[in-house]
Amino acid sequence: MSSVATTPKKGFDFKAFLANNGALVGLVVLCLAMFIATPRFLTGPNLMNIGIQVSTIAVMAFGMTFVIVAAGIDLSVGSIAAISAMTSSYWVTTAGLPDGLSIVVGLAIGGLCGWVTGAMSAYGKLPTFIASLAMLTIVRGLTLVISDGRPIATGDSVSWLGGDLGFMPVPILILIVSGLIAAFVLNRTIIGKNAFAVGGNTEAARLSGIPVKRVLVTVFVISGIFAALSGMILAGRLDSAQPTLASGYELDAIAAVVIGGASLSGGVGRISGTLIGALVLAVIRNGLNLLSVSAFWQQVVIGLVIAIAVGFDVLRRKNVRH
C-alpha cells in the first residue's frame, strides 16, 4: 500500500515478533540469565520443580484472565482456593462421604463463591474490586469456621492432584489441560467473546444485545472454579488443607495476568500471556532461591519486575497507537 520503499520482508519479521511478545522475550532472557548465574537452573529436577511451583498460580491466573478481560478484578481467589480445598477434604475426612465426589464438591464450592461475587457486582452494582474484597474476607472467615482453625487431611482424590502420574507430576498435567481449556473457552466460545466485548465497552455490548450481567457473573464463576482447582492442587501437594492456604495468592495471579499483557481496563488478554506471566514470576523466585537470595529481597525484586514489565507494555502500546 504505502509508497515508501522498504526492504521486502523475508519470512520472519523479528522486530514485530519482539514488539508483540515482550513477556516471552523477557522470560527467555530471564532463563538465560539464570542459567549463566547458576548451572543448576537448567537441570531436569529443577525444571520439574518450577513446573509444579507455577501450576497453582497459573491455574488461578487462567480464571483471573477472564475477569480481567471483562474489565473486572477478583481479589477473592486465594480465599476461594482455601475454602474449596477445605470443603473437599472435610467432605471425605470429617463427614466420611464418598471420596470420588470430593473434587467435584471443591469445584462446585469455588463456582458458587464466584457466582456470589459476580451477582453482588452485576445485580448489586458493587464495583468488582469491592465485591471480591468482601468475598476475600468472608470466604477466608468461613474457611476458618469450617476447619475450626486446624488443618484437615485431604482425601485420596485431592492428594492425587498433588502427586505423580508415572514420571509426570499431576499439577503440570493439570496446568497444560486447564490452560488449553481456558484458551479454547476464551477465544472460541460465546462466553469468551462476550467477555472481551463487555470489557472493551460495556455500554456498546449491552446495546448490541449482549447480556452484560450474565457475562459478568459467568466470568466470576469461571474464576472461582479455576481458583478451586488451584487450591486443591496446593492441598494435594501437602496432603492437608490448611486454613491459611493460598493467602495472598490473588496478588500473584493478578500480577501474572498483567505481566502477560492483559489490560486492567478490560478488553485485552491472552491465556498464553498469562502462562508466561506466571512463569516469569516462578523463574525469578526459583532462580533467586538457587542463588540463596533472601526471601525478603525476593519480594523487592518481584515488585520491580512487575513495574518494569507493565511499564514496557504501556510504552509499546503508546508507540503502536502514537
Residues that bind other proteins in the complex, under the rule CB under 8 A: 1, 188-191, 193-194, 196-197, 200-201, 203-211, 267-268, 321
DSSP 2: -
CB of residue 165 vs other proteins: minimum separation in angstroms? 30
Closest CA to 250 of 284, 226, 214, 218: 226
Closest CA to 82 of 135, 5, 26: 135
CB of residue 131 vs other proteins: minimum separation in angstroms? 23
CB of residue 71 vs other proteins: minimum separation in angstroms? 11
CB of residue 218 vs other proteins: minimum separation in angstroms? 11
- Pick the closer one to other proteins by CB: 18 or 204: 204
Contacts for 112 with CB less than 8 Å, ≥ 6 apart = 224
CB of residue 23 vs other proteins: minimum separation in angstroms? 19
- Pick the closer one to other proteins by CB: 196 or 226: 196
CA distance 255 to 249: 10
- Pick the closer one to other proteins by CB: 171 or 192: 192
Spell out a b/e string for 98-137, using b for 16 or more CB atoms within 10 Å of the CB, else e. ebeebbebbbbbbbbbbebbbbbbbeeebebeebbbbbbe
| Residue 274 CB neighbour total at 10 angstroms | 32
- Pick the closer one to other proteins by CB: 268 or 309: 268
Q: Number of C-alpha atoms within 13 angstroms, CB side, residue 90?
A: 21
CB of residue 220 vs other proteins: minimum separation in angstroms? 18
- Pick the closer one to other proteins by CB: 30 or 193: 193
> What is the per-residue DSSP string for 243-308?
TTTTTTHHHHHHHHHHHTT--TTSS---HHHHHHHHHHHHHHHHHHHHTT--HHHHHHHHHHHHHH
- Pick the closer one to other proteins by CB: 199 or 243: 199
